[in-house]
């Protein structure tokens, strides 16, 4: 019996080109997300219409998930990334010009297109890393991707505030467009690993096979998408509620907006510290050792939130939620990569991302619906219960479908 150790991953060789575009785009996005509602209000929108304008980014991402898979399969992950960055830059410039032209519909259209571009960018970067990084390091690669996105989203608002203070809200859109263009340039230095790997698997003399349709790939893998995909929907829904329920609970407890922002900053700091350890645990022991504990921890935080009435108590709960969210950075990406087929990978990931994005959309809607008929405390308890249901569901399904981790892999006799 002989065994060989897995090849080392040269992180330095892929860090800039693989993670740099995500850092740039997320900083640009973070800079403008807090300003979209303000831009709409400046253009004469009511509070309700301003909220709708903000929601158009998420709607655009939902609409774009499945077409993004088809596009990435047709032109390759590298060129899909470049196209997404270019379209995003054009849309952000459109938002800038809409402010100059006092056009609220123009702003709404621009925000919607940024959502479409983000759907393509998110899918293509996931598919690219799935191809580029060997499976024994996949979870660390995906968790680092999630951590880079969190870092950019954390830094972006501060950069946006600086730009606005020196110039105007419109200048923040121009800054974000520049970040997207720089990202497109950086993507140009990426090797086209997806196309190379597909060519190797097909053989040098094999004719190019037609890419399967999105619907045929989703139908073929419907069992995974309807079972494990439902677990991912719950993960995304629970994680999305954290950004809504903490500010609302803080307001109900009489906490000032400045104090609420500070609480968020502390929670984000806890979150940022844990993305790489979470990925290391997944690679070493298996995905289930992060998927299940993260949902249990976030469920505990949501169950404890109604018991708090002070800034200190809310901060403690926010840190618990940040811990659960931090260790699970990259879990959705990793599970999607583990279950994706070699043929039709991009199309499959389009369906996978649709499950996750539905969860991101449904989480805040669940809070709104329950709070409307009961109370915010009941909504928090219900979501805590949903997190625990998700933990049980994931404990059953993740070991069945996901890569188990090196610690559980045994050499095959005769190797």
User: Same structural domain for residues 58 and 168?
Assistant: yes
Residue 227 to residue 307: CA distance in whole angstroms = 34
User: What is the average pLDDT value for the chain, to the nearest integer?
Assistant: 86
Q: Specify the pLDDT at position 407.
A: 40
User: Is pLDDT above 80 for 403?
Assistant: no
User: Is pLDDT above 60 for 2?
Assistant: no
Q: What is the mean pLDDT of residues 21-26?
A: 93
User: Is pLDDT above 80 for 330?
Assistant: yes
Cβ pair 257, 379 in contact under 8 A: no
Residue 232 lies in a domain: yes
- Could you tell me which residues come within 8 angstroms of residue 61 by beta carbon, excluding any fewer than 6 positions away? 115, 116, 118, 119, 122, 357
Please report which confidence band the pLDDT of residue 176 belongs to, taking 50, 70 and 90 as the band edges. Answer: very high
Residue 12 lies in a domain: no
User: Is pLDDT above 70 for 4?
Assistant: no
User: Same structural domain for residues 224 and 292?
Assistant: yes
User: Is pLDDT above 90 for 372?
Assistant: no
User: Same structural domain for residues 274 and 377?
Assistant: yes
Final residue before a domain boundary, out of 196, 228, 262: 196
User: Same structural domain for residues 106 and 248?
Assistant: no
Residue 4 lies in a domain: no
User: Same structural domain for residues 394 and 252?
Assistant: yes
Residue 341 lies in a domain: yes
Final residue before a domain boundary, out of 196, 222, 255: 196
User: Same structural domain for residues 136 and 252?
Assistant: no
Cβ pair 32, 177 in contact under 8 A: no
Q: What is the mean pLDDT of residues 5-32?
A: 78
User: Same structural domain for residues 185 and 243?
Assistant: no
Q: pLDDT > 70: what percent of the chain?
A: 90
Residue 122 to residue 142: CA distance in whole angstroms = 12
Q: What is the mean pLDDT of residues 191-209?
A: 54
Residue 5 lies in a domain: no
DSSP string, 9-50: P-HHHHIIIIIHHHHHHHHHHHHHHHHHHHHHHHTT--HHHH
Please calculate the CA angle 60-64-67 and round it to the nearest 5 degrees: 160
If one counts the domains in the chain, the total is 2
Residue 357 to residue 317: CA distance in whole angstroms = 25
User: Same structural domain for residues 151 and 223?
Assistant: no
pLDDT in tens, 252-287: 888 887 787 788 788 888 888 888 899 999 999 999
Residue 206 lies in a domain: no
Q: What is the mean pLDDT of residues 201-226?
A: 77
Final residue before a domain boundary, out of 145, 172, 196: 196
Residue 52 to residue 304: CA distance in whole angstroms = 31
Q: Specify the pLDDT at position 11.
A: 61
| pTM of the entire predicted model | 0.85
Residue 201 lies in a domain: no
User: Same structural domain for residues 150 and 229?
Assistant: no
Q: Specify the pLDDT at position 36.
A: 87
Cβ pair 386, 363 in contact under 8 A: no
Q: Specify the pLDDT at position 265.
A: 81
Please report which confidence band the pLDDT of residue 205 belongs to, taking 50, 70 and 90 as the band edges. Answer: very low
For the domain that residue 22 is a member of, what is the CATH number?
A: 1.20.1250.20
Q: What is the DSSP letter of 4?
A: -
Residue 146 to residue 154: CA distance in whole angstroms = 12
Please report which confidence band the pLDDT of residue 38 belongs to, taking 50, 70 and 90 as the band edges. Answer: confident
User: Same structural domain for residues 126 and 156?
Assistant: yes
Q: Specify the pLDDT at position 115.
A: 94
Q: Specify the pLDDT at position 174.
A: 95
User: Is pLDDT above 60 for 359?
Assistant: yes
Q: Specify the pLDDT at position 409.
A: 35
Residue 38 lies in a domain: yes
C-alpha distances in angstroms, 414 versus 4, 58, 233? 13, 51, 41
User: Same structural domain for residues 112 and 185?
Assistant: yes
Tokens for 266, please give them. Answer: 């502390």
End-to-end CA, the chain? 5
DSSP string, 69-135: HHHHHHH-HHHHHHHHHHHHHHHHHHHHHHHHHT-HHHHHHHHHHHHHHHHHHHHHHHHHHHHHS-G
Rounded-to-10 torsion of CA 242, 224, 338, 404: 90
Domain that holds residue 283: 212-406
pLDDT in tens, 283-313: 999 999 999 999 999 999 999 999 999 999 9
Q: Specify the pLDDT at position 202.
A: 47
Q: Give 10: exposed, middle or buried? Use CB within 10 Å, 0-12, 13-18, 19+.
A: exposed
């Amino acid at each position: 019996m002989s065994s060989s150790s897995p090849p080392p991953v040269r992180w330095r060789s892929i860090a800039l080109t693989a993670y740099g575009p995500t850092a740039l785009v997320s900083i640009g996005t973070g800079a403008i997300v807090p300003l979209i509602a303000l831009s709409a209000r400046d253009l004469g929108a009511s509070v309700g219409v301003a909220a709708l304008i903000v929601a158009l980014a998420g709607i655009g991402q939902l609409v774009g998930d499945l077409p993004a898979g088809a596009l990435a399969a047709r032109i390759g992950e590298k060129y899909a990334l470049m196209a997404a960055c270019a379209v995003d830059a054009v849309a952000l410039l459109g938002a800038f010009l809409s402010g100059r032209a006092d056009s609220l519909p123009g702003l709404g259209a621009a925000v919607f297109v940024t959502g479409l571009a983000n759907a393509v960018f998110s899918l293509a970067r996931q598919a690219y890393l799935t191809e580029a990084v060997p499976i024994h390091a996949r979870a660390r690669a995906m968790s680092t991707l999630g951590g880079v996105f969190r870092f950019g989203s954390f830094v972006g608002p501060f950069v946006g505030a600086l730009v606005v203070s020196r110039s105007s809200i419109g200048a923040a859109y121009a800054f974000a467009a520049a970040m997207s263009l720089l990202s497109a340039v950086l993507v140009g230095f990426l090797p086209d690993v997806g196309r190379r790997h597909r060519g190797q698997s097909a053989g040098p003399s094999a004719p190019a096979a037609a890419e399967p349709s999105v619907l045929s790939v989703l139908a073929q893998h419907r069992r995974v998408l309807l079972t494990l995909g439902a677990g991912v929907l719950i993960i995304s829904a629970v994680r999305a509620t954290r950004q809504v329920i903490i500010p609302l609970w803080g307001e109900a407890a009489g906490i000032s907006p400045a104090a609420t922002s500070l609480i968020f900053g502390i929670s984000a700091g806890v979150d940022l510290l844990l993305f790489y350890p979470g990925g290391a645990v997944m690679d070493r022991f298996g995905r289930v050792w992060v998927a299940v504990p993260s949902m249990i921890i976030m469920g505990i935080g949501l169950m404890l939130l109604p018991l708090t009435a002070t800034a200190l108590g809310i901060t403690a709960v926010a840190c618990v939620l940040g811990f659960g969210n931090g260790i699970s950075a990259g879990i959705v990406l990793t599970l999607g990569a583990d279950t994706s087929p070699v043929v039709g990978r991009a199309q499959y990931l389009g369906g996978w991302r649709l499950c996750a994005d539905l969860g991101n959309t449904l989480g805040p809607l669940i809070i709104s619906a329950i709070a409307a008929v009961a109370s915010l405390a009941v909504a928090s308890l219900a979501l805590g219960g949903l997190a625990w249901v998700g933990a049980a569901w994931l404990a059953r399904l993740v070991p069945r479908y996901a890569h188990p981790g090196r610690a559980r892999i045994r050499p095959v006799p005769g190797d």
